Structure 1
Amino acid sequence: MSAVFAAIVKAFGQLGDRAVTAVLAKSIVITLLLFAMVGAGVYFGLAGAASRYGVAESWAGLATAVLVPIAMWLLFRIVALAVLQFFADGIVVAVEVRHYPALAARARPLPLRREAVVAIRGAMRALGANLLALPVAALLVFTAIGPAAVFLAVNAVLLGRELTDMAWLRHADGADSANPVSRPERVLLGAVIAGMMLVPFVNIIAPVIGAAAGTHLVLRRLDARGGKP
Protein backbone atom coordinates (compact mmCIF):
# COMPACT_ATOMS: atom_id res chain seq x y z
CA MET A 1 0.00 0.00 0.00
CA SER A 2 2.96 2.32 0.54
CA ALA A 3 3.42 2.25 -3.25
CA VAL A 4 0.16 4.20 -3.65
CA PHE A 5 1.26 7.03 -1.37
CA ALA A 6 4.72 7.07 -2.95
CA ALA A 7 3.07 7.40 -6.37
CA ILE A 8 0.88 10.27 -5.15
CA VAL A 9 3.92 12.10 -3.72
CA LYS A 10 5.74 11.70 -7.06
CA ALA A 11 2.64 12.96 -8.87
CA PHE A 12 2.61 16.13 -6.75
CA GLY A 13 6.31 16.56 -7.47
CA GLN A 14 5.60 16.68 -11.20
CA LEU A 15 2.86 19.33 -11.09
CA GLY A 16 5.38 21.93 -12.22
CA ASP A 17 6.20 20.13 -15.47
CA ARG A 18 5.09 22.11 -18.50
CA ALA A 19 3.32 19.12 -20.06
CA VAL A 20 1.39 18.45 -16.85
CA THR A 21 0.39 22.08 -16.31
CA ALA A 22 -0.77 22.28 -19.93
CA VAL A 23 -3.09 19.29 -19.46
CA LEU A 24 -4.27 20.68 -16.12
CA ALA A 25 -5.09 24.07 -17.66
CA LYS A 26 -6.96 22.55 -20.60
CA SER A 27 -8.91 20.18 -18.36
CA ILE A 28 -9.92 22.96 -15.95
CA VAL A 29 -11.00 25.35 -18.72
CA ILE A 30 -13.07 22.76 -20.58
CA THR A 31 -14.66 21.39 -17.39
CA LEU A 32 -15.65 24.86 -16.20
CA LEU A 33 -16.95 25.78 -19.66
CA LEU A 34 -19.14 22.67 -19.65
CA PHE A 35 -20.61 23.58 -16.27
CA ALA A 36 -21.06 27.20 -17.41
CA MET A 37 -23.02 25.93 -20.43
CA VAL A 38 -25.12 23.74 -18.15
CA GLY A 39 -25.74 26.70 -15.84
CA ALA A 40 -26.79 28.90 -18.75
CA GLY A 41 -29.09 26.17 -20.05
CA VAL A 42 -30.69 25.71 -16.63
CA TYR A 43 -31.18 29.46 -16.20
CA PHE A 44 -32.74 30.07 -19.61
CA GLY A 45 -34.90 26.97 -19.26
CA LEU A 46 -36.19 28.08 -15.86
CA ALA A 47 -36.59 31.69 -17.03
CA GLY A 48 -38.70 30.51 -19.98
CA ALA A 49 -40.84 28.37 -17.68
CA ALA A 50 -41.20 31.29 -15.24
CA SER A 51 -42.43 33.70 -17.90
CA ARG A 52 -44.82 31.08 -19.24
CA TYR A 53 -46.44 30.58 -15.84
CA GLY A 54 -46.29 34.19 -14.70
CA VAL A 55 -43.54 33.70 -12.11
CA ALA A 56 -40.88 36.36 -11.53
CA GLU A 57 -37.67 35.61 -13.47
CA SER A 58 -35.62 36.35 -10.36
CA TRP A 59 -36.66 32.91 -9.14
CA ALA A 60 -34.91 31.39 -12.14
CA GLY A 61 -31.65 33.04 -11.10
CA LEU A 62 -32.08 31.92 -7.50
CA ALA A 63 -32.88 28.33 -8.50
CA THR A 64 -29.89 28.26 -10.86
CA ALA A 65 -27.60 29.55 -8.10
CA VAL A 66 -28.75 26.65 -5.90
CA LEU A 67 -28.95 23.84 -8.48
CA VAL A 68 -25.70 24.39 -10.40
CA PRO A 69 -23.36 24.17 -7.35
CA ILE A 70 -25.18 20.99 -6.28
CA ALA A 71 -24.75 19.56 -9.78
CA MET A 72 -21.08 20.51 -9.73
CA TRP A 73 -20.57 18.79 -6.39
CA LEU A 74 -22.30 15.63 -7.61
CA LEU A 75 -20.93 15.52 -11.14
CA PHE A 76 -17.57 17.30 -11.01
CA ARG A 77 -15.52 14.12 -10.61
CA ILE A 78 -17.37 12.44 -13.49
CA VAL A 79 -17.06 15.37 -15.89
CA ALA A 80 -13.49 16.24 -14.89
CA LEU A 81 -12.30 12.66 -15.33
CA ALA A 82 -14.05 12.30 -18.69
CA VAL A 83 -12.43 15.52 -19.92
CA LEU A 84 -9.03 14.49 -18.57
CA GLN A 85 -9.16 11.18 -20.43
CA PHE A 86 -9.08 13.06 -23.74
CA PHE A 87 -5.72 14.51 -22.68
CA ALA A 88 -4.51 11.60 -20.55
CA ASP A 89 -1.65 10.79 -22.91
CA GLY A 90 0.01 14.08 -22.00
CA ILE A 91 0.14 13.12 -18.32
CA VAL A 92 1.19 9.53 -19.00
CA VAL A 93 3.94 10.54 -21.42
CA ALA A 94 5.29 13.16 -18.98
CA VAL A 95 5.61 10.50 -16.25
CA GLU A 96 7.05 7.92 -18.65
CA VAL A 97 9.70 10.23 -20.07
CA ARG A 98 10.85 11.52 -16.67
CA HIS A 99 10.76 8.31 -14.64
CA TYR A 100 10.53 5.33 -17.05
CA PRO A 101 12.30 6.27 -20.33
CA ALA A 102 12.82 2.65 -21.40
CA LEU A 103 9.09 1.95 -21.12
CA ALA A 104 8.21 5.21 -22.87
CA ALA A 105 9.94 3.93 -26.01
CA ARG A 106 7.68 0.84 -26.07
CA ALA A 107 4.38 2.62 -25.47
CA ARG A 108 1.68 2.73 -28.14
CA PRO A 109 -0.30 5.99 -28.12
CA LEU A 110 -4.06 5.52 -28.32
CA PRO A 111 -5.84 6.85 -31.44
CA LEU A 112 -8.16 9.79 -30.74
CA ARG A 113 -11.19 7.64 -31.52
CA ARG A 114 -10.13 5.04 -28.94
CA GLU A 115 -9.51 7.79 -26.36
CA ALA A 116 -13.02 9.13 -27.00
CA VAL A 117 -14.56 5.67 -26.59
CA VAL A 118 -12.63 5.05 -23.36
CA ALA A 119 -13.62 8.46 -21.97
CA ILE A 120 -17.31 8.02 -22.83
CA ARG A 121 -17.45 4.49 -21.41
CA GLY A 122 -15.74 5.63 -18.22
CA ALA A 123 -18.14 8.56 -17.84
CA MET A 124 -21.16 6.31 -18.40
CA ARG A 125 -19.91 3.80 -15.84
CA ALA A 126 -19.31 6.56 -13.31
CA LEU A 127 -22.65 8.23 -13.96
CA GLY A 128 -24.55 4.94 -13.74
CA ALA A 129 -22.83 3.86 -10.52
CA ASN A 130 -23.36 7.25 -8.87
CA LEU A 131 -27.03 7.29 -9.86
CA LEU A 132 -27.48 3.82 -8.38
CA ALA A 133 -25.76 4.99 -5.20
CA LEU A 134 -27.95 8.09 -4.94
CA PRO A 135 -30.94 6.38 -3.22
CA VAL A 136 -28.62 4.79 -0.66
CA ALA A 137 -27.00 8.16 0.00
CA ALA A 138 -30.45 9.75 0.34
CA LEU A 139 -31.40 7.24 3.04
CA LEU A 140 -28.29 8.26 4.99
CA VAL A 141 -28.73 12.00 4.49
CA PHE A 142 -29.54 12.55 8.17
CA THR A 143 -26.31 10.90 9.33
CA ALA A 144 -23.13 12.91 9.69
CA ILE A 145 -21.05 11.31 6.94
CA GLY A 146 -23.34 8.72 5.35
CA PRO A 147 -23.78 10.21 1.86
CA ALA A 148 -20.12 11.18 1.55
CA ALA A 149 -19.07 7.67 2.62
CA VAL A 150 -21.35 6.06 0.02
CA PHE A 151 -20.05 8.19 -2.83
CA LEU A 152 -16.47 7.78 -1.63
CA ALA A 153 -16.79 3.97 -1.67
CA VAL A 154 -18.41 3.89 -5.12
CA ASN A 155 -15.91 6.28 -6.67
CA ALA A 156 -12.92 4.61 -5.03
CA VAL A 157 -13.57 1.51 -7.16
CA LEU A 158 -14.40 3.45 -10.31
CA LEU A 159 -11.55 5.94 -10.13
CA GLY A 160 -8.96 3.32 -9.28
CA ARG A 161 -9.77 1.51 -12.50
CA GLU A 162 -9.97 4.57 -14.74
CA LEU A 163 -6.81 6.21 -13.41
CA THR A 164 -4.65 3.13 -13.94
CA ASP A 165 -6.21 2.17 -17.28
CA MET A 166 -5.07 5.52 -18.71
CA ALA A 167 -1.49 4.29 -18.62
CA TRP A 168 -2.14 0.56 -18.95
CA LEU A 169 -3.91 0.86 -22.31
CA ARG A 170 -0.71 2.28 -23.82
CA HIS A 171 1.22 -0.84 -22.82
CA ALA A 172 -1.38 -3.63 -22.76
CA ASP A 173 -0.63 -6.58 -25.02
CA GLY A 174 -4.13 -7.23 -26.36
CA ALA A 175 -7.60 -6.68 -24.94
CA ASP A 176 -7.34 -9.64 -22.55
CA SER A 177 -4.24 -8.41 -20.75
CA ALA A 178 -4.98 -7.78 -17.08
CA ASN A 179 -4.18 -4.48 -15.44
CA PRO A 180 -1.01 -5.22 -13.41
CA VAL A 181 -1.94 -2.99 -10.46
CA SER A 182 -3.56 -5.02 -7.68
CA ARG A 183 -7.20 -4.35 -6.84
CA PRO A 184 -6.44 -3.13 -3.26
CA GLU A 185 -3.94 -0.60 -4.65
CA ARG A 186 -6.43 0.59 -7.27
CA VAL A 187 -9.17 1.01 -4.68
CA LEU A 188 -6.85 2.86 -2.30
CA LEU A 189 -5.74 5.21 -5.09
CA GLY A 190 -9.36 5.76 -6.08
CA ALA A 191 -10.35 6.47 -2.47
CA VAL A 192 -7.60 9.06 -2.00
CA ILE A 193 -8.44 10.86 -5.25
CA ALA A 194 -12.19 10.67 -4.58
CA GLY A 195 -11.52 12.20 -1.16
CA MET A 196 -9.48 14.98 -2.77
CA MET A 197 -12.35 15.67 -5.15
CA LEU A 198 -14.58 16.48 -2.18
CA VAL A 199 -12.27 19.31 -1.08
CA PRO A 200 -12.85 22.70 -2.79
CA PHE A 201 -9.92 23.88 -4.95
CA VAL A 202 -8.02 20.64 -4.28
CA ASN A 203 -10.63 18.92 -6.47
CA ILE A 204 -9.30 20.92 -9.44
CA ILE A 205 -5.92 19.17 -9.43
CA ALA A 206 -7.15 15.81 -8.11
CA PRO A 207 -7.78 14.15 -11.52
CA VAL A 208 -4.30 15.10 -12.78
CA ILE A 209 -2.66 13.86 -9.57
CA GLY A 210 -4.66 10.64 -9.91
CA ALA A 211 -3.65 10.12 -13.54
CA ALA A 212 0.04 10.66 -12.76
CA ALA A 213 -0.09 8.42 -9.67
CA GLY A 214 -1.96 5.71 -11.60
CA THR A 215 0.74 5.86 -14.26
CA HIS A 216 3.44 5.36 -11.64
CA LEU A 217 1.65 2.32 -10.23
CA VAL A 218 1.28 0.72 -13.67
CA LEU A 219 4.79 1.45 -14.90
CA ARG A 220 6.37 0.44 -11.59
CA ARG A 221 4.83 -3.01 -12.07
CA LEU A 222 5.88 -3.21 -15.72
CA ASP A 223 9.39 -2.06 -14.85
CA ALA A 224 9.64 -4.87 -12.30
CA ARG A 225 8.63 -7.34 -15.04
CA GLY A 226 11.26 -6.03 -17.40
CA GLY A 227 8.68 -4.16 -19.45
CA LYS A 228 6.55 -7.21 -20.20
CA PRO A 229 2.72 -6.67 -19.99
Structure 2
Amino acid sequence: MLIQSVFAAAREIASPSLRRILWKSIGLTVALLVLVWLGLTKLFDIFLTNHELSAAYPIVDSLAFFLAGFGLFVALIYLLPAVSAVVAGYFLDDVADVVERQDYPADPPGRALPFGKALLYGLRFAGLSLLVNLVALLLFFIPGVNIGAFFIANAYLLGREYFELAAGRFWPPEEVARLRNEYRGTLLAAGAVVAGLVLVPVVNLVTPIFGAAMMVHLHKKLARDAARGAPGRREAPASLERF
Protein backbone atom coordinates (compact mmCIF):
# COMPACT_ATOMS: atom_id res chain seq x y z
CA MET A 1 0.00 0.00 0.00
CA LEU A 2 2.63 2.52 1.07
CA ILE A 3 5.00 1.86 -1.82
CA GLN A 4 2.16 2.24 -4.32
CA SER A 5 1.14 5.51 -2.69
CA VAL A 6 4.72 6.84 -2.76
CA PHE A 7 5.13 6.13 -6.47
CA ALA A 8 1.69 7.53 -7.27
CA ALA A 9 2.50 10.77 -5.44
CA ALA A 10 5.94 11.05 -7.06
CA ARG A 11 4.32 10.66 -10.47
CA GLU A 12 1.63 13.23 -9.82
CA ILE A 13 3.53 16.12 -8.26
CA ALA A 14 5.10 16.96 -11.63
CA SER A 15 1.87 16.47 -13.58
CA PRO A 16 0.27 19.52 -15.25
CA SER A 17 -2.74 19.35 -12.92
CA LEU A 18 -0.60 19.75 -9.79
CA ARG A 19 2.24 21.84 -11.20
CA ARG A 20 0.60 25.18 -10.43
CA ILE A 21 -0.16 24.14 -6.86
CA LEU A 22 3.41 22.84 -6.50
CA TRP A 23 4.94 26.18 -7.52
CA LYS A 24 2.65 28.09 -5.17
CA SER A 25 3.58 25.70 -2.36
CA ILE A 26 7.31 26.15 -3.02
CA GLY A 27 6.85 29.92 -3.09
CA LEU A 28 5.00 29.93 0.24
CA THR A 29 7.54 27.58 1.84
CA VAL A 30 10.47 29.74 0.73
CA ALA A 31 8.71 32.92 1.88
CA LEU A 32 8.06 31.45 5.35
CA LEU A 33 11.64 30.21 5.65
CA VAL A 34 12.96 33.64 4.66
CA LEU A 35 10.76 35.27 7.31
CA VAL A 36 12.00 32.80 9.93
CA TRP A 37 15.61 33.41 8.84
CA LEU A 38 15.22 37.18 9.07
CA GLY A 39 13.55 36.92 12.47
CA LEU A 40 16.24 34.67 13.91
CA THR A 41 19.00 36.81 12.38
CA LYS A 42 17.53 39.90 14.00
CA LEU A 43 17.37 38.17 17.39
CA PHE A 44 21.01 37.06 17.13
CA ASP A 45 22.02 40.55 16.03
CA ILE A 46 20.29 42.14 19.02
CA PHE A 47 21.88 39.64 21.39
CA LEU A 48 25.40 40.01 20.00
CA THR A 49 25.24 43.78 19.70
CA ASN A 50 24.33 44.13 23.36
CA HIS A 51 26.66 41.45 24.66
CA GLU A 52 29.41 42.81 26.95
CA LEU A 53 32.06 40.52 25.50
CA SER A 54 31.63 42.04 22.03
CA ALA A 55 33.27 45.31 23.04
CA ALA A 56 36.01 43.81 25.20
CA TYR A 57 37.00 40.95 22.90
CA PRO A 58 36.36 41.59 19.16
CA ILE A 59 37.50 38.06 18.25
CA VAL A 60 34.70 36.65 20.39
CA ASP A 61 32.29 38.85 18.44
CA SER A 62 33.54 37.48 15.10
CA LEU A 63 33.39 33.87 16.32
CA ALA A 64 29.89 34.41 17.68
CA PHE A 65 28.67 35.72 14.34
CA PHE A 66 30.17 32.70 12.56
CA LEU A 67 28.55 30.28 15.01
CA ALA A 68 25.29 32.21 14.77
CA GLY A 69 25.26 31.72 11.00
CA PHE A 70 25.86 27.98 11.36
CA GLY A 71 23.32 27.82 14.16
CA LEU A 72 20.71 29.56 12.02
CA PHE A 73 21.23 27.01 9.25
CA VAL A 74 20.78 24.13 11.69
CA ALA A 75 17.76 25.83 13.25
CA LEU A 76 16.09 26.15 9.84
CA ILE A 77 16.49 22.40 9.25
CA TYR A 78 14.76 21.69 12.55
CA LEU A 79 12.04 24.27 11.84
CA LEU A 80 11.28 22.99 8.32
CA PRO A 81 8.79 20.30 9.50
CA ALA A 82 6.77 22.99 11.28
CA VAL A 83 6.79 25.16 8.14
CA SER A 84 5.78 22.12 6.10
CA ALA A 85 2.82 21.57 8.44
CA VAL A 86 1.48 25.07 7.82
CA VAL A 87 1.90 24.83 4.04
CA ALA A 88 0.35 21.35 3.91
CA GLY A 89 -2.68 22.53 5.85
CA TYR A 90 -3.13 25.39 3.40
CA PHE A 91 -2.86 23.37 0.17
CA LEU A 92 -4.11 19.90 1.09
CA ASP A 93 -7.67 20.34 -0.14
CA ASP A 94 -6.43 21.62 -3.51
CA VAL A 95 -4.14 18.60 -3.87
CA ALA A 96 -6.81 16.16 -2.64
CA ASP A 97 -9.38 17.49 -5.12
CA VAL A 98 -6.99 16.85 -8.02
CA VAL A 99 -5.91 13.38 -6.87
CA GLU A 100 -9.44 12.22 -6.07
CA ARG A 101 -10.81 13.52 -9.37
CA GLN A 102 -8.04 11.92 -11.47
CA ASP A 103 -7.50 8.59 -9.71
CA TYR A 104 -10.77 7.90 -7.86
CA PRO A 105 -13.52 9.34 -10.07
CA ALA A 106 -16.04 6.68 -9.01
CA ASP A 107 -15.64 7.38 -5.28
CA PRO A 108 -17.63 10.02 -3.41
CA PRO A 109 -15.49 13.17 -3.28
CA GLY A 110 -14.19 14.39 0.05
CA ARG A 111 -15.50 17.52 1.69
CA ALA A 112 -13.03 20.35 1.78
CA LEU A 113 -12.17 21.39 5.30
CA PRO A 114 -13.25 24.93 6.14
CA PHE A 115 -10.32 27.27 5.62
CA GLY A 116 -10.15 28.15 9.30
CA LYS A 117 -10.20 24.50 10.37
CA ALA A 118 -7.54 23.50 7.82
CA LEU A 119 -5.33 26.37 8.95
CA LEU A 120 -5.94 25.44 12.59
CA TYR A 121 -4.87 21.86 11.84
CA GLY A 122 -1.69 23.15 10.24
CA LEU A 123 -0.92 25.58 13.06
CA ARG A 124 -1.66 22.96 15.71
CA PHE A 125 0.76 20.49 14.19
CA ALA A 126 3.26 23.27 13.48
CA GLY A 127 3.23 24.18 17.17
CA LEU A 128 3.61 20.56 18.25
CA SER A 129 6.34 20.01 15.66
CA LEU A 130 8.13 23.15 16.82
CA LEU A 131 8.06 21.97 20.42
CA VAL A 132 9.30 18.47 19.59
CA ASN A 133 12.03 19.75 17.28
CA LEU A 134 13.25 22.23 19.87
CA VAL A 135 13.79 19.25 22.17
CA ALA A 136 15.52 17.40 19.33
CA LEU A 137 17.67 20.49 18.73
CA LEU A 138 18.95 20.27 22.31
CA LEU A 139 20.24 16.80 21.42
CA PHE A 140 22.08 18.13 18.34
CA PHE A 141 25.54 17.73 19.85
CA ILE A 142 25.01 14.15 21.01
CA PRO A 143 26.34 11.89 18.19
CA GLY A 144 24.06 9.03 17.21
CA VAL A 145 21.11 10.56 19.02
CA ASN A 146 20.63 13.88 17.20
CA ILE A 147 19.61 12.64 13.75
CA GLY A 148 17.77 9.65 15.19
CA ALA A 149 15.69 11.82 17.53
CA PHE A 150 14.91 14.27 14.73
CA PHE A 151 13.93 11.50 12.30
CA ILE A 152 11.76 9.40 14.64
CA ALA A 153 9.93 12.39 16.13
CA ASN A 154 9.13 13.85 12.73
CA ALA A 155 8.18 10.48 11.23
CA TYR A 156 5.47 10.18 13.88
CA LEU A 157 4.32 13.80 13.70
CA LEU A 158 4.28 14.10 9.91
CA GLY A 159 2.58 10.73 9.42
CA ARG A 160 -0.13 11.71 11.88
CA GLU A 161 -0.55 15.25 10.53
CA TYR A 162 -0.87 14.39 6.86
CA PHE A 163 -3.19 11.47 7.56
CA GLU A 164 -5.54 13.55 9.71
CA LEU A 165 -5.69 16.24 7.03
CA ALA A 166 -6.49 13.69 4.29
CA ALA A 167 -8.91 11.53 6.32
CA GLY A 168 -10.62 14.56 7.84
CA ARG A 169 -12.20 15.23 4.43
CA PHE A 170 -14.31 12.08 4.89
CA TRP A 171 -14.68 11.19 8.57
CA PRO A 172 -15.40 12.85 11.92
CA PRO A 173 -12.42 13.11 14.30
CA GLU A 174 -13.25 9.99 16.30
CA GLU A 175 -13.31 7.79 13.16
CA VAL A 176 -10.07 9.38 11.94
CA ALA A 177 -8.44 8.56 15.29
CA ARG A 178 -9.71 4.97 15.16
CA LEU A 179 -8.37 4.38 11.67
CA ARG A 180 -5.10 6.11 12.55
CA ASN A 181 -4.59 3.83 15.56
CA GLU A 182 -5.49 0.76 13.52
CA TYR A 183 -2.74 1.49 10.99
CA ARG A 184 -0.23 3.32 13.18
CA GLY A 185 2.70 1.24 11.88
CA THR A 186 1.91 2.05 8.26
CA LEU A 187 1.43 5.73 9.07
CA LEU A 188 4.74 5.83 10.94
CA ALA A 189 6.45 4.41 7.85
CA ALA A 190 4.67 6.98 5.68
CA GLY A 191 5.82 9.73 8.03
CA ALA A 192 9.36 8.38 7.76
CA VAL A 193 9.22 8.86 3.98
CA VAL A 194 8.19 12.50 4.44
CA ALA A 195 10.76 13.04 7.21
CA GLY A 196 13.44 11.61 4.92
CA LEU A 197 12.52 14.16 2.25
CA VAL A 198 12.85 16.96 4.80
CA LEU A 199 16.53 16.05 5.19
CA VAL A 200 17.29 16.43 1.46
CA PRO A 201 18.14 20.04 0.47
CA VAL A 202 15.98 21.56 -2.32
CA VAL A 203 13.91 18.36 -2.58
CA ASN A 204 12.45 19.19 0.83
CA LEU A 205 10.65 22.16 -0.73
CA VAL A 206 8.18 19.75 -2.39
CA THR A 207 7.46 17.96 0.91
CA PRO A 208 4.02 19.54 1.56
CA ILE A 209 2.60 18.64 -1.87
CA PHE A 210 4.25 15.21 -2.06
CA GLY A 211 3.14 14.36 1.47
CA ALA A 212 -0.43 15.51 0.80
CA ALA A 213 -0.72 13.51 -2.45
CA MET A 214 0.84 10.41 -0.91
CA MET A 215 -1.47 10.49 2.08
CA VAL A 216 -4.59 10.96 -0.06
CA HIS A 217 -3.67 7.74 -1.89
CA LEU A 218 -2.75 5.94 1.32
CA HIS A 219 -5.97 6.98 3.07
CA LYS A 220 -8.01 5.55 0.19
CA LYS A 221 -6.17 2.23 0.38
CA LEU A 222 -6.34 1.98 4.18
CA ALA A 223 -10.03 2.87 4.28
CA ARG A 224 -10.84 0.19 1.69
CA ASP A 225 -8.73 -2.35 3.55
CA ALA A 226 -10.58 -1.54 6.79
CA ALA A 227 -13.96 -1.78 5.05
CA ARG A 228 -13.10 -5.24 3.74
CA GLY A 229 -12.28 -6.37 7.27
CA ALA A 230 -8.98 -8.10 6.53
CA PRO A 231 -8.60 -11.48 8.34
CA GLY A 232 -6.95 -11.24 11.74
CA ARG A 233 -8.00 -7.65 12.34
CA ARG A 234 -10.83 -6.31 14.40
CA GLU A 235 -14.04 -5.20 12.72
CA ALA A 236 -13.79 -1.97 10.74
CA PRO A 237 -15.86 1.08 11.74
CA ALA A 238 -19.31 1.00 10.18
CA SER A 239 -18.81 4.39 8.55
CA LEU A 240 -15.94 2.99 6.50
CA GLU A 241 -18.20 0.59 4.65
CA ARG A 242 -18.84 3.05 1.85
CA PHE A 243 -15.28 2.41 0.72
Shorter-chain TM-score range: 0.7 to 0.9
1:208 maps to what in 2?
209
For normalisation by structure 2, the TM-score amounts to 0.79
Instruction: Kindly provide the amino acid, as one letter, of the partner of residue 187 in structure 1.
Output: L
1:71 maps to what in 2?
75
Which stretch shows the higher mean deviation, 216-225 or 185-194?
Answer: 216-225
2:190 counterpart of 1:189: yes
Retained in 2: the 8 A contact 1:126–1:155?
yes
- Shift of residue 184 of structure 1? 0.9
Retained in 2: the 8 A contact 1:156–1:189?
yes
- Shift of residue 81 of structure 1? 2.2
Rounded Cα–Cα distance in structure 1 between residues aligned with 2:153 and 2:49:
40
- Shift of residue 49 of structure 1? 4.8
Rounded Cα–Cα distance in structure 1 between residues aligned with 2:130 and 2:95:
24
2:162 maps to what in 1?
163
Rounded Cα–Cα distance in structure 2 between residues aligned with 1:43 and 1:152:
26
Provide closer, same or farther for how the CA distance between residues 60 and 118 of structure 1 changes in structure 2, counting only shifts above 3 A: same
2:85 counterpart of 1:81: yes
1:39 maps to what in 2?
37
1:150 maps to what in 2?
149
SS at match of 2:13: coil
2:111 counterpart of 1:113: no
Retained in 2: the 8 A contact 1:167–1:215?
yes
**Alpha-carbon deviations, 1:94-153, whole Å to 9, x = none?**
1111111133x4421111111111111111221222234444x34x7234xx31111111
Rounded Cα–Cα distance in structure 1 between residues aligned with 2:41 and 2:80:
19
RMSD over equivalenced CA pairs, Å: 2.6
SS at match of 1:177: helix
Rounded Cα–Cα distance in structure 1 between residues aligned with 2:41 and 2:217:
42
Which stretch shows the higher mean deviation, 36-45 or 155-164?
Answer: 36-45
Instruction: Kindly provide the amino acid, as one letter, of the partner of residue 124 in structure 1.
Output: G
2:23 maps to what in 1?
25
Rounded Cα–Cα distance in structure 1 between residues aligned with 2:44 and 2:173:
46
Provide closer, same or farther for how the CA distance between residues 60 and 83 of structure 1 changes in structure 2, counting only shifts above 3 A: farther
Provide closer, same or farther for how the CA distance between residues 175 and 15 of structure 1 changes in structure 2, counting only shifts above 3 A: closer
Which stretch shows the higher mean deviation, 159-168 or 121-130?
Answer: 121-130
Retained in 1: the 8 A contact 2:100–2:109?
no
Which stretch shows the higher mean deviation, 206-215 or 60-69?
Answer: 60-69
Provide closer, same or farther for how the CA distance between residues 124 and 38 of structure 1 changes in structure 2, counting only shifts above 3 A: closer
Instruction: Kindly provide the amino acid, as one letter, of the partner of residue 101 in structure 2.
Output: V
**Alpha-carbon deviations, 1:55-103, whole Å to 9, x = none?**
5797786455323211111111221222221111111111111111133
- Shift of residue 223 of structure 1? 4.3
Provide closer, same or farther for how the CA distance between residues 131 and 86 of structure 1 changes in structure 2, counting only shifts above 3 A: same
- Percent identity over paired residues: 27
Q: What is the aligned residue count?
A: 221
For normalisation by structure 1, the TM-score amounts to 0.83
Listed as ranges, the gaps of 5+ residues in structure 1 are none
